[in-house]
Amino acid sequence: MQLALPPGLKLPHEDLGRAMQWGHVVRDIETTARHYSELFGIGPWIVVTDYSAYRYKFRGQTVQPDTWIAFSYLGDLQIELIQQRNDAPTPYTEFLASGREGLQHIGIFPEDYNAARKRLEGAGMHSIYDIWPPGSDNPTQYYEAPASLGLMIELIEMIPLRRKAFNAIRQTVETWDGTNPIRVYGSMAQFLADEGIAL
């Protein structure tokens, strides 16, 4: 039996969408990526090392973290590994300073970014970390979620370059033959060029 909804009423998750990411904060991105590949067969990992063109604010203050980020997929689920290589204040340094390492946030990729943001903020959540990629009008935002979740929620706008890059990573994962499990690039643009994909 299918649930009948009144006209105009949407289920709560619809504004947030179904595309999802598990974001891990780690101390050594290569070691963690190899563990995932060897134990679970997840790979290859596309590692991007230069995000210096991005702008960042953490708890209202401008910061400049130095991060390496690795991406792979497990079915429809994107797995992200983040290693911060300096001591700029971020959710990542706070997470590690608390004695934790591993799953730090759930990332969502809504089709309607503004509707998703309104839903999170309407639920009483507040963004503490904003990241502006070049060419984006809206930041990627980290929201402090209810304590019972134990994780932050990251809201990620699917700008064209990001969509193209994530689709290419997904295709690379689906055709992976088990070789070269960690692939390092300075930027997503370099990865796409290496795959023969025009920007």
Instruction: For residue 39, give the CATH number of its domain.
Output: 3.10.180.10
In a domain? residue 88? yes
In a domain? residue 114? yes
In a domain? residue 15? no
Q: Which domain holds residue 150?
A: 20-194
In a domain? residue 8? no
Burial of residue 114 (CB within 10 Å: 0-12, 13-18, 19+) is exposed
DSSP, collapsed to helix, strand or coil, labels residue 11 as: coil
Task: State the Cα–Cα distance between residues 12 and 10, nearest whole angstrom.
Answer: 6
The string of DSSP codes covering 159-183 is: -HHHHHHHHHHHHHHHT--S---EE
pLDDT at residue 21, rounded to an integer: 94
pLDDT at residue 14, rounded to an integer: 66
Q: Is residue 153 a contact partner of residue 106, using CB atoms and an 8 Å limit?
A: yes
In a domain? residue 26? yes
DSSP, collapsed to helix, strand or coil, labels residue 125 as: coil
Of 100, 51, 57, nearest to 71 (Cα)?
A: 51
In a domain? residue 7? no
Query: How many domains does the structure of the chain reveal?
Result: 1
In a domain? residue 153? yes
Task: State the Cα–Cα distance between residues 116 and 16, nearest whole angstrom.
Answer: 5
Query: Per-residue pLDDT for the chain (199 aa), expressed as one digit of tens each?
Result: 343 434 543 444 667 777 789 999 999 999 999 999 999 999 999 999 999 999 999 999 999 999 999 999 999 999 999 999 999 999 999 999 999 999 999 999 998 999 999 989 988 899 999 999 987 889 999 999 888 888 999 999 988 889 999 999 999 999 999 999 999 999 999 999 998 887 7
Q: Is residue 63 a contact partner of residue 4, using CB atoms and an 8 Å limit?
A: no
In a domain? residue 152? yes
